[in-house]
Amino acid sequence: MDKNNIIDFSGVTFGFPEQAILFKDLSLSIRKGAFYRIKGPSGAGKTTFLRLINRLEEPVSGKIRFKGKPLDTYPPPQLRHSLLLIQQTPTVVDGSVEDNLLLPFSFKNNSHLKRPRQEKIERLLAEVHLQDVSMNDHAMTLSVGQIQRLCLVRGLLLSPEILLLDEPTSALDGESAFAVTTLLERLNVESGLTVLAVTHKKQDRGNVTYRGLEVHHGQVEECP
């Protein structure tokens, strides 16, 4: 396998029980350090494609490999930190902003993870225009757009290798959406973060060479 590929689909078929096959014999490679925009009609399987990578869904047949190894050879908690999925409607727990940001670091399975420094947390919050949100604020009182950005920051604190985003700016105004895109572009360029984002918005600064993926007719294909 090409060492520049970080994810490889090989003959993957998937369908939900008692429904039509969604993907059939899908073979595709995701390049390490690339930034992909994913498009396709409603119901084509864009979200399911991300969930297959994150192993929240399992193929009926075929294999998905991460860095050359089948997904099912990785412990799920480890895998999902490396291949981090942030869903379109993320959720927060009943607690403060700080509680939510540090929630992943409180789990027993994550005892090996180093708690992020306060400066890093504050910097990321500022980059997504949440600098006016207090760490003591109750997370469930935030707007949907603020929760989207809070959950993005929470995910980035885990330092994933691949960030899987399902409409990450759907609830944001133009200024906030641009701030999120700017942050993702910076991390892609500076740290080589691989990004796969389902999005219909094109708000970029031109610093990133985007790749396109189109989900349609049971396949995922590269496109302009």
Rounded CA separation 207/205 (Å): 6
How many Cβ atoms sit within 10 Å of the Cβ of residue 55? 18
Residue ranges in 67-200 assigned as alpha helix (H):
76-82, 97-101, 118-127, 144-156, 174-191
Strand duo 35-39 + 210-216: pairing = parallel
The pTM for the full model equals: 0.93
- Residue 207 above 70 pLDDT? yes
Range of the domain at 33: 5-223
If one counts the domains in the chain, the total is 1
Each residue of 103-141: pLDDT tens digit? Answer: 999 888 888 888 999 999 999 999 999 999 999 999 999
**Averaged confidence pLDDT in the chain:** 93
Domain containing residue 96: CATH number:
3.40.50.300
Residue 24 identity (one-letter amino acid):
K
